[in-house]
Amino acid sequence: MFRRKHSQNHQENGLAEQEAKVSELRAALGPLSDRSVKYCTDACLRRYLIARNWNVDKAKKMLEETLKWRATYKPEEIRWHEVAHEGETGKVSRADFHDRSGRTVLIMRPGMQNTTCAEDNVRHLVYLIENGILNLGEGQEQMSWLIDFTGWGLSVKVPIKTARECINILQNHYPERLAVAFLYNPPRIFEAFWKVVKFFLDPITIQKVKFVYPKKEDSFELMKSFFDVDNLPNEFGGKATLTYDHEEFSRLMAQDDVKTAKFWGLDEKPSHIANSHSGAQVAPEPTPLALPAS
């Protein structure tokens, strides 16, 4: 009994300390612009503090860099019709199912790489990260990634420079947004590419990357622990069929663009919906479930 009460008190003290750090970080940031106020929720500040091991000064520096980046890059203003050409092959899409914890799932198929413009590749990915965040379930902060290496080879690989820029943006400006990334059945030639990419990843991110192989039982069990196999596409060892419908996905993204504009308080008419062309969807569509937050 004493041990349980002691543990509970310790936990409450820990939470109180965390909330104090959040308040300290908010005070240290000082006055913020309207859009920055919208971005800097308590949950956001907590993510930056976690990323910097609860060091307020380091978290402040990291968050201020993000606010500068967002002020110039304006990720919340990117619209699907601007990046739709990048998505024609379905190389990155948001799945129509969640993982077992109710997290948004992004599906990446690097073998479907279809363009060479580094800037457009990055903008496309940033758009889908923002879209994934927009579609997070209640109480959710993170998303899961499924990366299918079918068709991947040296001829279609993303240049190291582009990969590095994507990693920098994800690590520096979207801290604690990735729950887990499954690299499914990567070919042997990927190992050399991974050794270089790994150099730019922080140790915590590396721990979230899981290599899984279809012929290994422990890989299948790991996938089952994160996903319902009835929803999971057969490319990842599940029973569902992955079909990318460019037109349908474009319609979904155009609808989400209206939601994004409303969320950020941007005065925007849904004028691009008719001429947006791009899409992705995973079928069959599962029945929405009330999943617990992780």
pLDDT at 86 over 60: yes
- Lookup: tokens for 106: 């992004």
**Looking at the domain 2-73, which fold is it?**
Helicase, Ruva Protein; domain 3 (1.10.8)
- Looking at the DSSP assignment, which residues form a beta bridge with residue 148? 184
Query: Phi and psi dihedrals of 285, rounded to 5?
Result: -75, 125
Residue-wise pLDDT for 231-271, tens only, equals 999 889 899 998 899 999 999 999 999 999 999 998 755 54
Query: Vertex 226, ends 222 and 230: CA angle to 5°?
Result: 100
Among candidate residues 132, 152, 150, the one with its CA nearest the CA of residue 141: 132
Residues 6+ apart with CB under 8 A from 258: 268, 270, 273
Task: Supply the DSSP string of 166-229, one letter for each residue.
Answer: HHHHHHHHSTT-EEEEEEES--TTHHHHHHHHHTTS-HHHHHHEEEE-TT-HHHHHHHHHHS-T
Residue-wise pLDDT for 103-152, tens only, equals 999 999 988 888 888 899 999 999 999 999 999 988 899 999 999 988 77
Domain spanning 77-283, CATH class:
alpha beta
Q: What pLDDT was estimated at residue 282?
A: 39
Q: Which residues of 20-53 are buried (b: 16+ CB within 10 A; e: fewer)?
A: ebbebbeeebeeeeebbeebbeeebbbbbbbbbe
Q: What pLDDT was estimated at residue 283?
A: 37
Q: How far apart are alpha carbons 67 and 199 in whole angstroms? A: 26
Helix residue ranges, H only, the chain: 2-29, 34-39, 42-51, 56-73, 80-83, 118-134, 160-173, 190-198, 203-208, 217-226, 246-263
Full strand arrangement of the beta sheet holding 92-94: 92-94, 104-108, 143-148, 178-184, 209-212
pLDDT at 225 over 60: yes
Residues 6+ apart with CB under 8 A from 38: 263, 264, 265
For the chain, the domains span 2-73, 77-283
Q: What pLDDT was estimated at residue 164?
A: 84
Cβ atoms of residues 42 and 149 within 8 Å: no
